């Protein structure tokens, strides 16, 4: 991620999907820097993320922030 200061990050929607080649989920988000989608999917047993250039293999800090917000939405039973 670039050196953007992300504030007011919120999750607008989470959509689960499965098709012929992939299964995963899309997190639609918004923040002070704009909005976007963060897609996490599985292909051939490996996990991948399409982050719209918000993360890289060297820096996954935006994904960490987003998943922390996602965990806040989860109710543990």
Q: Is the pLDDT of residue 3 over 90?
A: no
pLDDT in tens, 14-48: 999 999 999 999 999 999 999 999 999 999 889 99
Q: Are the C-beta atoms of 12 and 27 separated by less than 8 Å?
A: no
- At residue 1, the pLDDT reads 52
For the whole model, what pTM was predicted? 0.90
Those residues whose C-beta lies under 8 Å from the C-beta of residue 10, and which sit 6 or more positions away, are 29, 30, 31, 69
- At residue 4, the pLDDT reads 79
User: Residue 57 and residue 14: Cα distance in Å, rounded?
Assistant: 23
Share of the chain above pLDDT 90, in %: 91
User: Residue 23 and residue 63: Cα distance in Å, rounded?
Assistant: 18
Q: Are the C-beta atoms of 29 and 65 separated by less than 8 Å?
A: no
User: Residue 56 and residue 53: Cα distance in Å, rounded?
Assistant: 7
């Amino acid at each position: 991620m670039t050196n953007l200061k992300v504030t007011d990050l919120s999750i607008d929607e989470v959509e689960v999907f499965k098709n012929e080649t992939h299964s995963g989920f899309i997190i639609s988000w918004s923040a002070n820097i704009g909005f976007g989608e963060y897609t996490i999917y599985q292909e051939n047993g490996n996990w991948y993320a399409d982050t719209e250039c918000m993360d890289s293999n060297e820096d996954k800090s935006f994904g960490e922030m987003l998943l922390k917000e996602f965990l806040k939405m989860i109710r543990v039973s």
